[in-house]
Amino acid sequence: MNNWIQIYGILWKQYLKKYGSWIILFLLTAMVIGAENKMRPEGEETYKGILAGIYWEDDKGRELTEGLEGEKGILRFRGYGEEEEMLRQIENGTLECGYTLPEGFYESILDGKQSRQITLYYSPASSAQKISYEVVFAELFEILSEDILKGYLEDAGFGKGDIEKARERLLMLNGQYAGDDSTFHFVYENAGGKAGTEPETQSSLRGCVAVAVFLMCLLAMGNALEQEKIWRSMPGKMGRALKRGNLHVAAAGAVLTGGISLWLLGAGQGFGVEALGLLVYFCVLEVSMWILRLFVKDSRALYGILPVLVLGSCLFCPVFIRIERYIPAAAWISRLFPVSYYLEFFGEFVL
């Protein structure tokens, strides 16, 4: 028992001496990001998306802006009280494009004057305005549709008291004819009903930490391979114990650093769940290192493939995107990387 304590004491001392600066940098980064997240006002969006500005001059412009600010797709709209401020942010690249809604634009559109009622500003280097057209005018048409119907009924001779009844009747007939396939019509709806979900480009803090833990583990494994000749020269069980213990400490040190970082980031899901997840990741990393040692016998060879292993984890594991959505045949490749098993345990797949 005393021998084991002595062996692991030596290995932990060596690990902390060699990777102490890495661990401190890792933890300080997590602490800064975690503090920033806690200082952010409640409800503030962390995903910025492609930003577009809206400047309005009347109540209808404000109503349209409020509707656009509620959009949760890849485009995010931001209202401005001053046109100069919006234009300045387009010039410096903060905004991809911006719309000016002048006073009376809504009434002019209702009167049939559709041309030159809304002004669009955009940078020549940007193409986001082409995407924003549909979003802006879809929201505008939703506001217009009620007034268009009301105007049609008034032109048809309905009195004020009959307009609401006629409106309900028209909506009922619309539902009837649209549902019995007797009328040719278009149906516009959100694709998949995902208007409120975050885009899949949103980064995963847990995924980034998992990749960093894997990287630390690989670096420690490289150090173990460099020292293998020393362990072999030691007599009896001592050499074999140091050889095995080196990999144990490599995995345990990286996993513990990752766990503390998640706690500092405020991204944990409770001590019990996190501890179980880290235990699973520790076991997966241990198995992965032993399998890797069957094929990689030299530290230089390991350092040579290290970029491939790290980049492969970022690309094929669900850290930033789910690549199987685009290349279904690539789904099995993620099983080759330990990061996938850890993220699957927490269900941290990007939406």
pLDDT at 108: 83
Find tokens 């490289």 and name the residue: 222
Q: For the chain, 351 residues long, give each residue's pLDDT as a single digit of tens.
A: 556 676 667 667 777 777 666 677 667 776 766 665 665 555 444 556 688 899 988 888 888 888 888 877 778 888 998 889 999 888 888 888 899 988 888 888 877 776 777 888 987 777 777 788 788 888 888 787 777 777 776 676 665 666 667 767 776 776 676 667 666 666 655 554 444 444 444 447 788 888 988 988 888 888 878 877 776 666 666 666 666 777 778 788 888 888 888 777 776 677 788 888 889 998 999 899 889 888 888 888 988 999 999 999 988 888 887 787 778 877 788 888 999 888 888 764 333
Asked if residue 127 and residue 154 are part of one domain, the reply reads yes
Last residue of a domain, one of 150, 177, 193: 193
Last residue of a domain, one of 178, 193, 208: 193
Asked if residue 221 and residue 188 are part of one domain, the reply reads no
What are the E-state strand segments in the chain?
A: 50-56, 75-80, 97-101, 119-122
Asked if residue 318 and residue 247 are part of one domain, the reply reads yes
Asked if residue 244 and residue 171 are part of one domain, the reply reads no
Is residue 317 a part of any domain in this protein?
A: yes
CATH of the domain at 106: 3.40.190
Asked if residue 257 and residue 331 are part of one domain, the reply reads yes
Q: What angle do CA 266, 268, 269 make, to 5 degrees?
A: 135
Asked if residue 146 and residue 18 are part of one domain, the reply reads no
Last residue of a domain, one of 146, 178, 193: 193
C-alpha distance from residue 70 to each of 78, 120, 176, 255 (Å): 10, 20, 31, 40
Is residue 77 a part of any domain in this protein?
A: yes
Is residue 351 a part of any domain in this protein?
A: no
Asked if residue 162 and residue 234 are part of one domain, the reply reads no
Asked if residue 54 and residue 13 are part of one domain, the reply reads no
Residue 56: Cβ within 10 Å count:
22
pLDDT at 195: 44
Asked if residue 334 and residue 251 are part of one domain, the reply reads yes
C-alpha distance from residue 116 to each of 82, 101, 109 (Å): 20, 10, 10
Asked if residue 258 and residue 289 are part of one domain, the reply reads yes
Nearest to 49 by CA among 144, 149, 128, 162: 128
Is residue 45 a part of any domain in this protein?
A: no
pLDDT at 311: 92
Asked if residue 186 and residue 152 are part of one domain, the reply reads yes
Domain interval for residue 132: 50-193
Asked if residue 249 and residue 112 are part of one domain, the reply reads no
Separation CA 248–CA 229 (nearest Å) = 18
Q: How many domains does the chain have?
A: 2
Burial pattern 144-177, b for ≥16 Cβ within 10 A else e, equals beeeeebeebeeeebeeeeeeebbeeeeeeeeee
